[in-house]
Structure 1
Amino acid sequence: MRRHLFLLALALGLSACSLTPPLVTPEAPVPTRYPLASGADTQAKISDLDWRAMFPDPHLQGLISLALENNRDLRLAALNVQAVQAQYGIQRAMQLPAIDATAGVTRQRGESRSAGSSVSTQHNLGLGISAFELDLFGRARALSDAAFSRYLASEQGQKTAQVALIGAVADAYHAGLFAQEQLRLAQQTLTDWRQSLELARSLKAAKQSSGLDVSQAEGQVASAEADLEARTRALEQTRNALQLLLGTAIPDGLPTALLLDDLPRPVLSAGLPSELLTHRPDILQAEHNLRAANADVGAARAAFFPRLSLTGALGYASPEMGNLFNSGSRVWSFAPQLSLPIFNAGRLRSELRLAEVRTSSAVAEYERAIQIAFREVADGLAGRETYGRQVDAQQRVVVSATRRLALSDLRYRAGVDGRLELLDAQRQLYAARQTLLDLRSAEMANAVALYKALGGGHSQADKRVTE
């Protein structure tokens, strides 16, 4: 028995061989610097990003906290992590022998010519190992490594979902603020155009203008009323979208929201593209998937080599229950089994080829994730460099249109210009204000997109969400 235990320990000691190929992570297929990035960007640390610093509005912070606790998509991502973690535990347990305790009684009847029929009883109690595979060529270890890498990938997938959720809540909240401002603009415009309609009717009653001016003013008011309904519908839809993201009703006790004019313009530094490799959760997820696929190649290679499995038991067996634990009732068994694949119609080679192809696909997905991340950051930087100047220029357009409307109104009341000139001035001012709101909305959305592209959105304070 000691000899068998020595052979078992020796086999376990030799089971450290691995056929998993060394993982060569491809270099990032992107430039070393972003376009339009300033010198300060190269000194930034993406790890310093935090959604609370990015979104100082206390009302928005409360909404994000609600979403992190109640959003169903994020909850599914967390459950997926737990499922993959359990799969990893199952795969890791296969590297160690499973010891089972057995107890039983066997009664059987037999017949022979000499003794006739007889009934025998056998009592047994023991501990045993059943078909434990010695990992001589690293197959079980490779499968365990693959499962562990997929577990890490699922964790990064959860972080990706969290980043996306925070950005979606911020976008929905900002969309609601801008929808409110657009509704307010539509209400103000409708009020102004109704006053203009009353003026046109008064001038017609005094026979200072024709019915054409009244018809134009009435059409203008009807257009404003239709636009008001559209803005009201858009505001309700943004609220519904926000509530879906939160996963619960918006409570009344949240802090007061900032006004639209008080929202700060976020200033984000991009750092270097190489920092994305360690901070973008989707890139880290692709990297772990690549490691898992590489480990699968090692498991497929090891399948070509012999498998040694052990079955052993140690215990007691006796026909009499009272004599079960006597010294003469001890029994043991040791049954090693060696199997070598000889013919399987090319199945093992096809499995190896499949694992290698999946590794190549994982490499391509990893490189693609890096390229997408680089493009998203570059787009965000382009927006950061241009939206501010465009908004400033559009504000000058609004000032100019406001001045023109005031002058056109004075000239119309004085009878110098016709109704058509005033109508054009009113429409130009409304379009200029609407364009300004759209630009400010796009500027804020670009800042949120850049924040997500840089890998922000999670911090140490959010560990309670991932537990």
Structure 2
Amino acid sequence: MRKTRLRRELIGAIIAPALLIPVAAHAETLGEAIVEAYQFNPNVQASRARNRAADERVARAEGEFGPFISGSASYDYNYRRLRTNGELAPAEHGFTPTFGVTLSQPLFTSGRLSSQLRIAEANYGASTADMRAAELNLLANVIIAYASVLRDQNLVSIARENLDLLGDQLGQTQARFDARYATRTDLDQTRNRLLTGQAQLELAEGNLRASRNAFRNLVGHYPDDLAPLPQLPGLPQSLEEAEDMGLRFNPVLEAARFDSRAARAAVGLARSDAGPQVTLQGTAARTPLSIENDAVRQFDAQARIEVTMPLYAAGRIAAGIREAKQSADAANQVEEQVTRDVREDIASAWDRLSANRRASPAYAEAVTAAETALQGAREQQLAGQLTALNVLDTARDLLNSRQAKASVDAQLYIQHAILLAAMGQLSPGRFGPMTPEYDPDSYSRTAFAGLPTGPLVELLDDAVVMDGVTYTPVQQERSEEPGHDMAPAAETSPAP
């Protein structure tokens, strides 16, 4: 099974939230980051090179239908001296040239050449789909890395504000302790929370540095100021529509379908080993009749049709056919599994996005409530109605609510992007017209240059291909379950 499933290559997709924050002018935009990564990322460049190599393998398979012509030439020095009845004859020696041309043209291969061409074309289709999957993964990962930097910048700010708040609280508690209104326990508890806040700030700054490293890995440079995340394309009205789009456009599933097609063509290739092979062969040679000079020479030409067919192979050919059938059956099952994986990826991203849309307003209210509670707790502490621990607990509630709100807001964008990627709907052009999409057809390989007999041989060979396979029945997934309705997007949500 391919290891290129989109969900396994999206770095930190589930745990990498990002917050949208305004930045200074001349900030780098997501579109600019995508342009640079799309044009220069080594992984994507490698996938494009592999696609061009697969295209050349199609040309090689087409060339097998044409003739193979080879030439040979030699310039030999020969020396000969005969001994007759004990007497040596005069030596004969000299330089002589020899020239030859050989032609081989397949006429009928029992479907071998056509099967090889079908395999090459299917592999090229799979390579094109793999290239598109690599581009989708890159776009999704750049979005996640971009959002992760924004997230960690915001979480660092939250940690610093929390540390400042705890510092003020420690000052107030120290003053109350000096005035004998607070106990040593109150002072130690406040110091404990302050030291914990310092540790949380260190961790937040470390996470920010790690996110910046991930950004550099994908884009090629460290981020400076980052602009707010742009609006993403809209989504279908229902999960069923989203899954239908994924089944039509997801490149990983498309690659699995081409793999299944190639495996079926391999059955025809294995069966061709049991059939006759007809080849037209011709030779022409110019050779000297004397070893010491080229004054007298002869020209020979020969043409023949050669038919070969295996009569007994000790079961090797039959085993090869059975192996190809089982491989085709396996590829068919893999295609069904990838289909399930695509449905799972889409449904999971859909449900996570819906859950985050429902959670975002609740967390927003939680932050407001925690801010009000903290202000009231401080006033009640001054009035002697609450202890320092009550104030510290309220401050911790505010910190947790702010962090959770930042995470949910980021997931609204990240899960939206992941859902689009699983549906096969992410493209660089959606983030700005300045990104020219790579066209695999822009690579022009050398056209077929065989004799006019090539297409006729291909037509005859293609007619006898035997690639029929009886597949093991595929278990179908059960029907949809209720409860996958998408929550409405909040007006302040970064993603529609």
TM-score (norm 1): 0.78
Out of 373, 392, 408, the position equivalent to 1:423 is: 392
User: Identity over aligned residues, as a percent?
Assistant: 21
- The residue that corresponds to 2:437 in the other structure is 462
- Tell me the SS of whatever aligns to 1:463: coil
- Report the Cα distance in structure 2 between the residues aligned to 1:316 and 1:277, rounded to whole angstroms: 63
Question: Could you tell me which amino acid in structure 2 is paired with residue 463 of structure 1?
Answer: Y
Residue identity opposite 1:240 in structure 2? N
Q: CA deviation at 1:265?
A: 7.0
Q: Name the SS of the counterpart of 2:438 in structure 1.
A: helix
Per-residue CA shift, 1:33-53, capped at 9, x if unaligned?
A: xxxxxxxxxxxxxxxxxxxxx
Which of 214, 217, 229 aligns to 2:202? It is 229
Residues 353-406 of structure 1, C-alpha deviations (whole Å, 9 max, x = no match): 111111111111111111111111112222232211211111111111111111
The 1:82/1:112 distance shift into structure 2, 3 A limit, reads: farther
CA, structure 1 residues 451+272, in 2 after alignment: closer, same or farther (shift >3 Å)?
Answer: closer
CA distance 1:272–1:186, change in 2 (3 Å): closer
- Taking the TM superposition and a 5 Å limit, the aligned residue runs for 1:159-178 are 159-178=132-151
Aligned twin of 2:318 = 349
Q: 1:266 to 1:103 in 2, by over 3 A?
A: closer
Task: Note if 1:268 corresponds to 2:235.
Answer: yes
SS at 2:29 equivalent: helix
- Residue aligning to 2:221: 249
Q: What corresponds to 1:370 in structure 2?
A: 339
**Structure-1 separation of matches of 2:101 and 2:203:** 76
Q: Deviations over 1:288-324 (max 9, x none)?
A: 1111111111111111012223321246445465677
CA distance in 1 between counterparts of 2:206 and 2:180 reads 40
Residue in structure 1 matched with residue 421 of structure 2 by the alignment: 452
Judged with a 3 Å threshold, the aligned counterparts in structure 2 of structure 1 residues 306 and 373 are, in CA distance, closer, same or farther, namely same
Give the aligned partner of residue 180 of structure 1: 153
CA distance in 1: counterparts of 2:331 and 2:337, whole angstroms = 10
Residue 104 of structure 1 corresponds to which residue in structure 2? 74
Unaligned runs of 5+ in 1: 1-56
Residues 55-204 of structure 1 aligned to structure 2 (within 5 Å): 59-105=29-75, 109=80, 123-130=97-104, 132-204=105-177
Whichever residue aligns with residue 128 of structure 1, its letter is T
Query: What does residue 27 of structure 1 align with?
Result: none
Distance 1:122 1:134 in 2: 36
How far the C-alpha of 1:339 sits from its partner, in A, is 1.8
CA distance in 1, matches of 2:84, 2:124: 64
Tell me which amino acid in the other structure corresponds to 1:100: S
Shift of 1:152: 1.7
What residue is the counterpart of 1:282 in the other structure?
252
Select the residue among 295, 310, 314 that pairs with 2:280: 310
Q: Could you report, residue by residue, the CA deviation over 1:87-122 in whole angstroms, capped at 9, with x for unpaired residues?
A: 333232222111223333456559698998866976
Alignment partners' CA distance in 1, 2:136 and 2:383: 59
For 2:83 and 2:68, locate their aligned partners in 1 and report how far apart those are by CA, in whole Å: 40
Partner Cα separation in structure 2 for residue 309 and residue 118 of structure 1: 42
Q: Is the 8 A contact 1:243 1:249 kept in 2?
A: yes
Q: 1:394 to 1:71 in 2, by over 3 A?
A: same
RMSD: 2.8
- Closer/same/farther in 2, CA of residues 369 and 112 from structure 1, 3 Å limit: farther
Q: TM-score, normalised by structure 2?
A: 0.74
Pair 265,287 (structure 1): closer, same or farther in 2 beyond 3 Å = closer
Give the Å deviation of 1:143.
0.9
1:397 aligns with 2:366: yes
Larger % of helix: which?
A: 1
Q: Residue by residue, what CA displacement relative to the aligned partner does 1:224-258 show, whole Å, maximum 9, x if unpaired?
A: 11100000100001001111122x22476xxx633
Aligned to 1:361: 330
Q: Distance in 1 between matches of 2:338 and 2:302?
A: 55
Aligned to 2:473: none
Residue 413 (str. 1) matches residue 382 (str. 2):
yes
**Quick one: distance in 1 between partners of 2:95 and 2:189?**
109
- Contact (CA 8 Å) 1:105, 1:123: kept in 2 or not? yes
Separation (CA, whole Å) in 1 of partners of 2:385 and 2:133: 63
User: Deviation string for 1:330-350 (max 9, x for gaps)?
Assistant: 531113322221222211111
1:95 and 1:135 in contact (8 A); partners too:
no
- Distance in 1 separating the partners of 2:265 and 2:163: 67
AA at the equivalent of 2:102: G
Deviation per residue, 1:4-41 (Å, 9 max, x gap):
xxxxxxxxxxxxxxxxxxxxxxxxxxxxxxxxxxxxxx
Structure 1 residues 58 and 450, CA, compared in 2 at 3 Å: closer, same or farther? Answer: farther
Distance 1:352 1:198, change over 3 A: same
Provide the rounded CA distance (Å) in 1 between the counterparts of 2:327 and 2:354: 40
Contact persistence 1:135–1:141 (CA under 8 A): no
CA contact 1:139–1:299 (8 Å) conserved in 2: yes
Distance 2:95 2:233 in 1: 83
